[in-house]
Amino acid sequence: MTEPTMDLGGVVVATTLAFTEDPSAPAGLAVDYDRFGEHVDFLMSNGCRGVGPNGSLGEYSSLTDDERRKVIQVAVDAVDGRGIVVAGVHGVGSHQARHWAELAREDGADGVLLLPPTLYRANEGEVIAHYAEVAKAGLPIMAYNNPFDTKVDLTPKLVAKLAEIPEVVAIKEFSGDVRRVYEIKELCDIDVIAGADDVLFELMVNGAVGWFAGYPNAFPREAVELYDLCIRGDWHEAKALYEQLVAVFRWDSRTEFVQAIKLSMDICGNSYGGPTRPPRGPLSDEQRAQVTADTERALAALAARRVAVA
């Protein structure tokens, strides 16, 4: 029997989700599937490896079951074979996460992104059982280490145990500890994927092979260029580009990352960001001003860079 595989080399974008005002929809905001499909097409047209719908950035926890499934279907249709779709299948329990993984497989996703059990601080045995159960859906799994949101840290030793499950082929590393790439690679053979935009360069230097990204929603072309420079080992040029982006990238690791990235998208003007559903509220005036300043500074630096290259 062939073991599940998934080529994660490249920039896989954890997609935002567009909403439009509708008094009859949850919180007065309906999912705008047309805009979402257009955004996915925009990302793929700018060289991204694929998309990761229904993650935290896609506000999966605020969606109805019908909305959550249709988002995957729209993403698969919009990618249209040009790359991969890694569906977020997070759930409180393994039975829920497995259900979403089975639907993702049925709807054409190439793999799944999976947190440990949400809303419950699972122990090591429960974490392993969670992944083993979802693996029964038959799709490749990218485990997701986000100890800030789940309160469960997928340490390198635990990652090595998860890697014994054939379907677990990668780990999205979001702890911020760049040393973990080496530790994980010393213990097991699993793809380490950079999961936090503001340590992307450091993780790539240390051996990450892919980028599961947030801010490329706003800067896809530059993100692909940055990733390609790292893969080629053009570290000086990569660092110069990274330095122009890292200030705005830091918002990817802050509590208000969804609102910040959507605002940056609107400022960049290439794709629609728009509002967020509860529990996420609007940015404060101070936060909005800082995101705007960081985004505009990045845009100005990128424009100057293009002139210099030309």
Are residues 43 and 51 in contact, defined by beta-carbon separation less than 8 angstroms? yes
Report the alpha-carbon distance of residue 132 to residue 75 in Å, rounded: 26
Q: For residue 75, give the nearest of 53, 97, 59, 94 by alpha carbon.
A: 53
Annotated catalytic residue within 172, 215, 227, 262: 172
Are residues 39 and 271 in contact, defined by beta-carbon separation less than 8 angstroms? yes
Report the chain's C-alpha Rg in angstroms.
Answer: 18
Are residues 176 and 203 in contact, defined by beta-carbon separation less than 8 angstroms? no
Q: Is 172 a catalytic residue?
A: yes
Report the alpha-carbon distance of residue 242 to residue 86 in Å, rounded: 25
Annotated catalytic residue within 33, 60, 131, 144: 144
Report the alpha-carbon distance of residue 3 to residue 55 in Å, rounded: 25
Backbone angles phi and psi of 162, in degrees to 5? -65, -35
Q: Is 185 a catalytic residue?
A: no
Catalytic residues, which ones? 144, 172
